[in-house]
Structure 1
Amino acid sequence: MPVPQTILTRKTKAAVFLVLTIDDGGEGAVRDLLADLPTLARAVSSRAPEAALSAIASVGSQAWDRLFEGPRPGSLRPFVTYEGAVHTAPSTPGDILLHIKADQLDLCFEVGRLAMDALGDAVTVVDEVHGFRYFDLRDLIGFVDGTENPVGQAAIDAITVGDEDPDFAGGSYVAIQRYVTDLEAWNGLTVEDQEAAIGRTKTDNVEMSDDVKPTNSHIALNVVEDDDGEEIDVVRDNMPYGDVSAAGERGTFYIAYSAGPDVTEEMLRKMFIGDPPGNHDRLLDFTTAVTGAQFFTPTIDFLEDLPDQPPAPPAARVATPSADRVATPPAARVATPSAGRVATPSAGRVATSERSEPDAYRDPPADGSLGIGSLASAPLPPDQTHT
């Protein structure tokens, strides 16, 4: 199995997310950074090896064929817009995602700075988010985030592409959204009403029983099962972010790694359109998705031996995905996102990658963190949007 980028780590205290688009002629500089990023991250990590620095690089559907000749990941496709009767999950631009995380924000900043210096004017920053741990792994709404993440081998299996796509085995898919939360409206609810919206108790983080949990609660609509009734897992590494001033934005940067995009697409369908349609996620009444994109996270082996660059850019560039795109996802599958941040996507944001160490698969800690571990062509489908 090829060596994966270091996606599974213990829950760190800080993260920087950079979402970038590649400018015309910038493909060469981006390829150079992808090849150099693991080495760059290891060099910065040597200053504070105890801080668990990791930099993960992922590539979007529209950028893949501009960067690499040959096959492409079998399930790599643009993010799907979901338009419900009340809420919409928008699709926004994103060619490269750099996800940089560590216990120290200065390490994240240093990797991000070096990466952006290397890229220069080859890219445009679409979104940049600096996340932080909020007390005992809580979101800004006061509830523990990521409780249902798998750990150990289950986490590895949840995010690792297998032999069904041998050219890209060991890689992973990743979906991101930035949510902006209306904390004033949320804090105007009683604790009981907040708990009903989430499906858990606020103080001790206990899930409500199925006969009590509202059908429109966040947890109820974030479970996706396979044909045998088994829950399909993703690994979320969400981070709160925000400005302290009332005029600023606060919320959650949602990021979920998986073995394929079907599960997150089904989850979003249930949240935004509803299950049944119209029964949307109650949490969305207080937090708005302002961005949405998905990517493929290749292995370290792929980054260290990149396929050849196409001799010339494609004759016709694919249009930027927009809110009027919709695709019908497979019939029953979804994963769990969480509350988050919203703001009109502006000029810039993304994340990075790093080689797994030999001790990457350790028993997960008992403190609610993710646990330690690391992960392991078809033509582009037409633009779509789901309503």
Structure 2
Amino acid sequence: MAREQLGICTEANLHGSYLLLNALEGHERQIRHKLARVPALIERLSDHFSEAMLTSVIAIGSNFWDSLYPDSRPIGLAPFPSLQHTDIELAEAPIDLFIQVRSDRQDVNYIACQQLLQLLESHVEIQDTWQGFRYLDGRNLTGFVDVPNPPKGRLKRQVALVDQQQQPLFAAGSYVFVQQVIFDLKIWQHLTLAEQEQVMGIDKVTGKVLADERQIEVSHWALTEQTDTNSLVLRQNMPFAQLKQQGNIEVSYAACAEVLVNALTRRLGGNAAGASDQLLDYSQFACSAAFFAPSISFLELAINHQL
């Protein structure tokens, strides 16, 4: 049975570190070998810092996949969609490698990232690095609960991991959308509480869904929360904050690429109301990229092209 990367279905952590890397041309073989060593490296650190609950996810960009693994490709893996019905700028970026490191200790994240970069440094260039943190028990910087009803237990695996029967080679892998979103908090904070709750579609204190008479069709909740199991997305969002900009790092996992595309389409106006998520009036995308996070088993087999 394929072994999934433990960072996909992990519980929430206090700190997140994100590496966005581009490969140097002609280094595919070396990268393929070294990516297969990452899970063991993280497992070793996790055993040493057992209280930190350290995990990682390695994901390969759509545009880089065929160079790294030319013999096979996940069904549906494609560049981040450029949706024609919206004028919202998605800031699509062709990132080759995305590595997510999460734990309950920022110093452990730092150590893990340093060792990962030492492993890969002669083969990649750093495109960007992000640092996320848990804020007020799972809220984003708007002050609202970020994901009010996340999949739990076995449902996490069903939502996020490719099924063995559908794609045996890529079983236990996951399709990934990564977006960095900048919030305009100055404008947001001028809204009344009632106005903020209408935009979000949930109560600010409790995180409960607003009553029908207060709910609007294009609230953030209405366009991002799904009840159909086949449409669910596993979100591992974390806030980030710097002196001049603040926002959310949004990492979405799904067992099917189409689910991620449909969720994005709904949010950007491809819905019955024909309008975008109201929260986007107070935010903008700084980066969007599409990846596939293969299973640990695939990473190991791919070293010798045993696929």
TM-score, normalised relative to structure 1: 0.75
Task: Tell me the CA shift for residue 183 of structure 1.
Answer: 0.6
Correspondence for 1:217: 219
Deviation at 1:209, TM superposition (A): 3.0
Deviations 1:227-269 (A, max 9, x none): xx666211111010011x2xx2210000011101211211211
Match in the other structure for 2:206: 204
Q: Share of identical aligned residues, percent?
A: 31
RMSD (Å), alpha carbons = 1.9
Partner SS state of residue 200, structure 1: coil
Q: Note if 1:173 corresponds to 2:169.
A: no
Question: Aligned partners of 1:297, 1:142: CA distance in 2, in Å?
Answer: 31
Output the amino acid matched with 2:96. Answer: D
Distance 2:258 2:226 in 1: 10
In 1: Cα distance, 2:220 partner to 2:86 partner: 17
Q: Which amino acid aligns with 2:216?
A: P
Matched, 1:296 2:295: no
Gaps of 5+ in 1: 310-376, 378-387
Larger proportion of helix: 2
- Which string of whole-angstrom CA distances, capped at 9 and with x for unpartnered residues, describes residues 84-132 of structure 1? 5552323212111101000001111111111112222422222211100
Question: How many residues matched?
Answer: 304
1:226-305 equivalences in 2 (<5 Å): 232-243=231-242, 245=243, 248-276=244-272, 278-305=274-301
The match for 2:160 is: 159
- State the shift of 1:23 in Å: 1.8
- TM-superposed deviation, 1:289: 0.8
Structure 2 counterpart SS, 1:4: coil
Distance 1:210 1:29 in 2: 56
**Residue matched to 1:383:** none
8 Å Cα contact 1:173/1:259 also seen in 2: yes
Matching residue's letter, 1:110: I
What is the distance in 1 between the residues matched to 2:184 and 2:58? Answer: 31
Aligned equivalent of 1:184: 186
Query: Which secondary structure does the structure 2 equivalent of 1:89 belong to?
Result: coil
Q: Is the 8 A contact 1:176 1:294 kept in 2?
A: yes
Q: Deviations over 1:16-56 (max 9, x none)?
A: 11111212122233213211101111222223102110011
Q: CA deviation at 1:208?
A: 1.3
Give, as a single letter, the amino acid of the residue that structure 1 aligns with 2:268. Answer: F
Quick one: which amino acid aligns to residue 45 of structure 2?
V
Question: Following TM superposition, by how much is the alpha carbon of 1:4 offset from its aligned partner in structure 2, in angstroms?
Answer: 0.8
Aligned to 2:106: 105
| Deviation of the 1:277 alpha carbon | 6.5
Task: Pick 1 or 2: higher relative contact order, CA cutoff 8 A, min separation 6.
Answer: 1
Question: How many angstroms does 1:212 deviate by?
Answer: 2.7
1:33/1:230 Cα in 2 relative to 1: closer, same or farther (>3 Å)? closer
- Cα distance in 1 for residues equivalent to 2:103 and 2:114: 15
- Counterpart in 1 of 2:75? 74
Query: What is the one-letter code of the residue matched to 1:201?
Result: D
Aligned twin of 1:41: 42
Deviation, structure 1 residue 195? 0.4
Unaligned ranges ≥5, structure 2:
none
Partner of 2:55: 54
Aligned structure 1 segments of 4 or more residues deviating by more than 6 angstroms:
none
Q: Distance in 2 between matches of 1:307 and 1:200?
A: 47
CA distance in 2, matches of 1:112, 1:62: 24
- What residue in structure 1 maps to residue 2 of structure 2? 2
